Amino acid sequence: QSQPLSEAIRLNQLGYYPNAAKIAVVVGETQGAFQLVSADLKTVVFSGNLGEARQNAISGKTTRTADFSTFTKTGTYVVVIPGIGHSYPFEIRPSVHKNLAIGALKGFYYQRASTELPAKFAGKWARPAGHPDNRVLIHPSAASKDRPAGTVIASTRGWYDAGDYNKYIVNSGITMGTLLSLYEDFPADMNALKTDIPESTNKIPDLLDEVLWNLRWMLTMQDPTDGGVYHKLTNPRFDGMIMPDKAVNDRYVVQKSITATLDFAAVMAQAGRVYKAYNRELPGLADSCVSAATKAWTWAKANPTVVYNQADMNAKFDPDVVTGSYEDRNASDEWIWAAAELYATTKDESYYKAVNLFPDTKTPLPAWPQVRTLAYYTLARFGNDLTSLGKKDLPLVKQHLTTMADSLLMGADKQAFQTVMGKSAKDFIWGSSAEAANQGIALLQVYRFTDSPNRSQYLLYALGNLDYLLGRNAVGYSFVTGFGDKTPMHPHHRPSIADGIVEPIPGLLSGGTNANAARQDKCAGYTSTVADEVYIDADCSYASNEIAINWNAPLVYLTFALEALQKD
Ligand code: 9MR
């Protein structure tokens, strides 16, 4: 057959598990037959009819599904719609997302500050060390008696936050919580994992080695005198589009904040639990984490109103700082998360009692300014191992999580791309790809404990959101660099722009479609104003095509979790 490639056919560009759902979506008015054909376009292996017409609630466009779920034979195929063309090729096989999962975790390795990335581990993206951060200045806003303005501290390691080279505690918080939760939820799979990083030969699981790179940095961000945590380590202004080793401007730690300090407390409490098993390899680390967490908590109790307000800070202190602000005036969710993690680790009920863990019936989707539900994930995870107080509330925790998951599922079968993601235009915010990944995680959290007859739906739609991220969406991109056929080639990511290599650094999740991106980054070239279509693969589009650690982490969680749960 002579069929052109058609971008109207949207599917998971990596592929499908043999025994799971397999759905492609065609956008447009086409109806009738479709075929599954070998990748050389020679052999038809399955035929079916497109499903009923669905209306995209956001754009009004018509879509139809090509459902070949019943076809289970491994191989490489395309979907063909006569008169339209063929899709990108994809595989049907077990472990079809394993390389992606490993690649997305490896994305964190590429984000490491203060170290060289040798070719042995970084391949053609090898680069010299940047940002030693061994001479970081105390910004006047962060001055204390023991550390007056201009004091030099060492604050090495950590991951670059995103396409820029700064290191922000708030955003590290949810990122670390997500990765540590992956370890706690799937320890056996994570212990068996190898990702080819310099530490792969040591006795610590690779996931925990990678997390350790950022954990050690986070520990340096706490003022040892009072336990408060600096909001971020940053240049005053963003660097140009240059490689890390060329970016040598002075860096500062700025004022402490309540959100940074509570997020830090939550991460350190969780790390204290997780790294306890590695006390022989990392002597004293777990205890240091717990003690850092309790000190942070003490500071928070004494300073509950110290929010980060960059404009106010700049009005009072020089130099002005204009980098990412991660401002969040409401710390009630950070209190809940820190309290839950400290309680789960120490079993000390005073943390549990210190805050109202259930201030209302809501269960917000996790995001950097909203971490309440991470507390519920942890309480559900430990379930009956909690003290009587936590055990008593367990049904309530599960009810919160189930209500959230069920509201995500509601109407997903009517959605144009058959995904939970994109039921509403509200999903398409800055970093929407992480919304999709976090929705998937929310569904899996319930899948893990529920015995509802609906159980399989949670897994089905978690996988559906991975299909969304890998191409079954309104723009037809797989949003992960290097994974898929139509992927971001020009992410807003300094090393990918400056390294002179055509392919961007792989395994990085683009923030993705963002209804307001054109207004936010003023990058030229957006072609649509429809909420689920506002995306361009251009490096000036930092509002739709940047990468960030808090977006990669839920991708890592979702892909590894689905790999673990889909052993067929
Ligand atoms: O992810 C952040 C998004 O929620 C905000 O709307 C946006 C504007 O404040 O900032 C995003 O975070 C950026 C951070 O400020 C600086 N590093 C890059 C981050 C991703 O774009």
What is the 3-class SS of 198-248, one letter each residue?
Answer: HHHHCCCCHHHHHHHHHHHHHHHCECCCCCCEECEEECCCCCCCCCHHHCC
Domains of the chain: 9-92 (2.60.40.10), 118-329 (1.50.10.10), 330-408 (no CATH)
CA distance 352 to 348: 8
* Cα(47) to centroid(ligand 1), Å: 45
ipTM score of complex: 0.98
Contact 219, 293 (CB under 8 A): no
How much is the pLDDT for 3? 86
Mutate to test the pocket of ligand 1, among 232, 326, 429 (most ligand atoms within 8 A of CB): 326
CA distance 376 to 394: 9
Among candidate residues 83, 92, 77, 91, the one with its CA nearest the CA of residue 6 = 83
Mutate to test the pocket of ligand 1, among 169, 170, 171 (most ligand atoms within 8 A of CB): 171
* Cα(260) to centroid(ligand 1), Å: 15
Amino acid at position 110, single letter: Y
Report, as ranges of residue numbers, the positions in the chain whose pLDDT lies below 70: 1, 568
Nearest Cα residue to atom 2 of ligand 1: 430
In order of 54, 292, 331, 418, the CA distances from 299 in angstroms are: 54, 11, 14, 47
Nearest Cα residue to atom 13 of ligand 1: 324
Residue 369 CA, closest ligand 1 atom number: 4
* Residue range 189-243, pLDDT digits in tens: 999 999 999 999 999 999 999 999 999 999 999 999 999 999 999 999 999 999 9
Residue 543 CA, closest ligand 1 atom number: 21
* Cα(556) to centroid(ligand 1), Å: 20
- Residue 386 in tokens: 């909690």
How much is the pLDDT for 342? 98
* Omega of the bond leading into 319 within 30 degrees of 0 (cis): yes
Nearest Cα residue to atom 5 of ligand 1: 430
Mutate to test the pocket of ligand 1, among 164, 238, 522, 542 (most ligand atoms within 8 A of CB): 164
* Cα(231) to centroid(ligand 1), Å: 14
* Cα(324) to centroid(ligand 1), Å: 6
Residue 520 CA, closest ligand 1 atom number: 8
Total-model pTM: 0.98
Amino acid at position 92, single letter: I
Burial class (CB in 10 A: 0-12, 13-18, 19+), 216: middle
CA distance 78 to 86: 6
How much is the pLDDT for 458? 98
- Which sign does the torsion angle of CA 255, 175, 361, 346 carry? negative
Pocket of ligand 1 (CB under 6 A): 161-162, 164, 324, 326, 430-431, 542, 546, 548
How much is the pLDDT for 2? 75
Among candidate residues 332, 338, 310, the one with its CA nearest the CA of residue 139 = 310
Among candidate residues 211, 10, 24, 100, the one with its CA nearest the CA of residue 563 = 100
Nearest Cα residue to atom 10 of ligand 1: 324
CA distance 387 to 404: 25
Residues belonging to the active site: 164, 492, 537, 546
* Cα(293) to centroid(ligand 1), Å: 26
* Cα(343) to centroid(ligand 1), Å: 30
How much is the pLDDT for 349? 98
Where on the phi/psi map is residue 565: left (φ > 0), alpha (ψ -120 to 50), or beta?
A: alpha
Nearest Cα residue to atom 16 of ligand 1: 324
Nearest Cα residue to atom 18 of ligand 1: 162
